[in-house]
Amino acid sequence: MQKKKFHCPAEMTLHLFGGKWKVIVLWLLRRGPQRSGKLKSRLPGISPAAFSRAVRELEEAGLVRRTSNGEFPPAVSYGLTGKGDSLSPIVKMLVKWGLAHQGDYVQGEFGMAAFYKAIATGRARG
């Protein structure tokens, strides 16, 4: 990953895992590696291009490790690195904050409301 210049540590951190999908990918991988197809299926609404971009950027940042069995057809899986795993408490806090304040910003409930509530209470199987 090419180093960049940032104005503060928070800017750098948000650059590494910010965006619509990367935070959710990090959360889903917190309990261990997952096959690419299974991981993608747990992200409703993600396009194949957005999925590829999210996992590639996380891998380039050193937060996710991609492994392939080297066979045909290839079985690709993704798992957290130590750096990626160290973000799990931060991601959980972001979700809890979002749930606490959703009434101020969201019409109705989140599309994955049950999933996020389970995350906040520690009951997610993600």
Is 85 domain-assigned? yes
Q: Which domain holds residue 31?
A: 9-121
User: For residues 63 and 83, is the Cβ–Cβ distance under 8 A?
Assistant: yes
The domain that holds 15 is classified in CATH as 1.10.10.10
Is 18 domain-assigned? yes
**Binning pLDDT at 50, 70 and 90, where does residue 85 land?**
very high
Is 3 domain-assigned? no
Is 63 domain-assigned? yes
pLDDT, position 91: 87
User: For residues 51 and 21, is the Cβ–Cβ distance under 8 A?
Assistant: yes
24-59 tens-digit pLDDT: 999 899 889 999 999 999 888 899 999 999 999 999
pLDDT, position 126: 46
pLDDT, position 94: 87
User: From CA 16, how far away is CA 117, in angstroms rounded?
Assistant: 25
**Binning pLDDT at 50, 70 and 90, where does residue 116 land?**
low
102-114 tens-digit pLDDT: 888 877 766 666 6
Query: For the chain, what is the mean pLDDT?
Result: 86
Is 53 domain-assigned? yes
